[in-house]
Amino acid sequence: MKEVARILNCKTTTVYSWAESGALPSYKIRGLVRFAPEEVEQWIKAQKIEPRRTTSRSHPRKASVSSLRDVDSIIRRAIDTTVAKKKASGI
Domain boundaries, the chain: 2-46, 63-91
Chain centroid offset of residue 69 CA: 35
Which residue pairs from 36-44 have beta carbons closer than 8 angstroms and sit at least 24 positions apart in sequence?
40/4, 40/7, 44/7, 44/8
Does position 4 have pLDDT exceeding 90, yes or no?
A: yes
**The overall pTM is greater than 0.75:** no
Evaluate the CA torsion angle 53, 55, 61, 66 in order and state its sign. Answer: negative
pLDDT tens across 10-66, in order? 999 999 999 999 999 999 999 999 999 999 999 999 999 888 877 666 666 666 666
Q: Which residue has the higher pLDDT, 62 or 79?
A: 79
pLDDT at site 88 = 84
Q: Return the closest-CA partner of residue 41 out of 3, 86, 70, 79.
A: 3
